Amino acid sequence: MDIDLLRQCGKIKEFNREDIICREGDAGHSLFLLLQGHLSVSINSFVDEKQNVGYISEGSFFGEMSLLEKKPRTATVVVVSEKAIVFEISENRFPKLLEKAPDIAYGILMVLNKRLNNMLNRIWETDKKYVFQYRKNETYEIIQKLDLESFVQIAKKSPEYVWTLLKYLSTALDNLNGKYISDVEKENA
């Protein structure tokens, strides 16, 4: 990984226990890579109560959905370790990073793909037809077959296609999250 490129594309920030790194509903103009520490992720639940939905461990990234979708943050991320160090990449420098470091773009793509597949598996029992439509989408099928070497070749020839793939996964996740929340609200009504 090109350290000089990373320095050009972002900055390191330090946080202490209970510091909020990003808040649900706020505008999101960056994504983060957790270099050190542990974070909790919470959302306002269906009954307007804070609900912990997971944890972020070192080496993971977060905040990409807001950046890719140009929508407010969908969760609040709080430091649960004594200290956390994150690398923040701003939206205006993100395209340069994707173009110059396709291995990072591939990593983001694969994490988004894993999240999408986890959500599809979660919805499978309640709406097989909906899930089947996603899994038969041409872009979805292409992503499932991509390896790093093929992706790097594609990225070199067509950087805008990288955006297309990332945007597809981000939009699909956003839609599936909305569907999941709607389904849970119907169950609790």
Whether the CB-CB separation of 68 and 16 falls below 8 Å is answered with no
Q: d(Cα 102, Cα 108) in Å, to the nearest integer?
A: 10
Name 36's bridge partners: 85
- Of 109, 116, 29, which is closest to residue 69 (Cα–Cα)? 29
In this prediction, residue 44 carries a pLDDT of 80
Q: Minimum mean pLDDT among 1-15, 18-32, 136-150: which range?
A: 1-15
In this prediction, residue 129 carries a pLDDT of 87
What pLDDT band is residue 152 in, cutting at 50, 70 and 90?
very high
- Most confident of the following: 27-41, 91-105, 158-172: 27-41
- How many CA atoms within 13 Å lie on the side-chain side of 183? 14
pTM comes to 0.80
Q: d(Cα 157, Cα 166) in Å, to the nearest integer?
A: 16
Alpha helical stretches, state H, 74-158: 94-100, 102-124, 128-135, 138-145, 148-157
Cα–Cα–Cα angle for 153, 35, 98, nearest 5°? 25
Residue 31's φ and ψ, nearest 5 degrees, are -125, 160
Helix/strand/coil for 108: helix
Whether the CB-CB separation of 10 and 87 falls below 8 Å is answered with yes
